[in-house]
Chain A
Amino acid sequence: MSEKDMNDKVNEMLQRSEANVKKAEKSFIHPEDEEREVVAPDGSIIKVNPIYDYFSGEKPKEEKPCSGIIEKFLNWARAESIWVLGFGTGCGSIEIPPLVTPRFDMFRFGVQMRPTPRQSNAFIISGYLSVKTLKRVIRTYEQMPSPKYILALGSCTINGGMYYDSYSTINRLDKYIPVDVYIAGCMPRPEALLAGFTKLKELIKEGKGEKANEYARNFDEYKANQKKIIKDWNMPDYNW
């Protein structure tokens, strides 16, 4: 890169910095999400507010379980195919790769990893969770199709663990999103994780894997807790 190019880049970044200062005084909304006017294909000018227009503003709804044997069958099917989102939040995410290897082999439990929240129904919160990551976790969790399950790994998600006095990590996960199974330990071994999956399967088969409905039922309460700590809330209330 020539010196001129470099100088141009520096100037561009300086300008962006100034713009950011001005923006920070206003709000935390990203420039691309700000309310603005755009030209429609037919030439008319329309106002858009991306956060409310591009996403559904509706709150999540409770889904009533089917009756009797149908629900039992569905629960059996759900329990036998747990698709986990490949999202590591803390040090515990290092315990997940061994599960895929032949030694622990989670596929024999019907568990597999998926790359996108749209295809997964289980979310492993692996270890300490900072507020910054919690924001991404909420956004991802809400995009998963229900019924969805959360496994909280490690003592950090239970009571803060060794980071209980940290300014940036949360203490109790169940105040922000509903948790199905807690796996205690610091860190839990892959065997403990498999035990957690087995427990989750039992819960689902008993018809107790209804935490997505619980989230919908207590949506306002969860949202209030989330917004209490995520000060730069610049996303829709429900990210579906």
Chain B
Amino acid sequence: MKDLIEKLTEDFKISDVVYQRPDLAFVTVPKGVAISLVTELRDFEGFSHFVMMSCVDWIEEGKFQLLYLLHNPKTKTDVGVKTFIDRENAEMASAHHLWKQVWTYQRELKEAFGIDFPGSPRVDENFVVEGWTEMPHMRRDFNTKEYSQNTYFPRPGRETNDPAEYMRKKLYPNEPITAKKQDNDK
């Protein structure tokens, strides 16, 4: 695994290598070479199985982080290729020509985060929610609670209790709260 990544480091400007387990490593590459690295891994290094693709919203840095997780069935190893893209007008080169299941992942990311993958088949169709007109719902600045309260007629009278405090009151009503317990709560 180490040899492989060291071999590819220069060509693909690999940074931030994390060796999670002997059979699992994550690498970060610039946006422009991510798809080339994935292609290289698939065609020449034996990572022929596409496990999944996902996205993390780094809202404080104004970035989305995309992850392509690949598996090598012969050596039983996995490599995760990570890349950062801008949050504003998020767009990424499509990988639909490498594996057909990428279509679905990209369609999901388009709906959930609003990341565009130009050229990916059926990328604009509905994936999970139908007729969604708001901001993409998995972005961290989308306030799901506020949206729910404004849209779905919340029933009045709903109470929320702190579970630890509520259980203590119910189970041990007479027991005084010790200083140690108060510290634990904090």
If over half of B's interface residues share one DSSP class (helix, strand or loop), that class is named, otherwise mixed; here it is: loop
Kindly state whether residue A21 has any CB partner on chain B within 8 Å: yes
Residues of B within 8 A of A230 (CB): 130-131
CA–CA, A10 and B103, complex, Å: 11
Contact with B along A109-137 (1 / 0, CB 8 A): 00000000000000000000001100100
Q: Are B152 and A170 interface neighbours, CB within 8 A?
A: yes
Partner pick for A160 among B123, B129, B148, CB 8 A cutoff: B148
* Given A20-B122, A165-B144: A159 touches B155 (CB 8 Å cut-off): yes
Given contacts A10-B121, A164-B148, contact A175 B153 (CB under 8 A): yes
**Contact flag A158-B155 (CB < 8 Å), given A17-B121, A131-B129, A167-B137:** yes
Query: Knowing A10-B121, A14-B121, A167-B148 touch, does A159 contact B129 (C-beta < 8 A)?
Result: no
Number of A interface residues at 8 Å Cβ cutoff, please give it: 32
Of B130, B148, B151, B158, which is within 8 A of A135 by CB?
B130
Q: Say yes or no: is B172 at the interface (Cβ < 8 Å to chain A).
A: no
Taking beta carbons and an 8 Å cutoff, which residues of B are in contact with A? Answer: 121-126, 128-134, 137, 142, 144-145, 147-149, 151-155, 157-158
Contacts A132-B130, A160-B148 known; list 15 others, CB within 8 Å: A17-B124, A17-B125, A160-B155, A165-B149, A167-B147, A167-B148, A169-B152, A170-B152, A171-B153, A171-B154, A171-B155, A172-B152, A172-B154, A175-B153, A230-B130
What are 24 contact pairs spanning A and B, CB under 8 A?
A13-B122, A14-B121, A28-B131, A132-B128, A135-B130, A159-B155, A160-B152, A165-B145, A166-B144, A166-B148, A167-B134, A168-B128, A168-B137, A170-B152, A171-B154, A171-B155, A172-B154, A229-B151, A229-B152, A231-B130, A231-B131, A231-B132, A232-B130, A233-B131
Q: Which residues of A contact B (CB under 8 A)?
A: 10, 13-14, 16-17, 20-21, 24, 28, 131-132, 135, 158-160, 164-172, 175, 225, 228-233
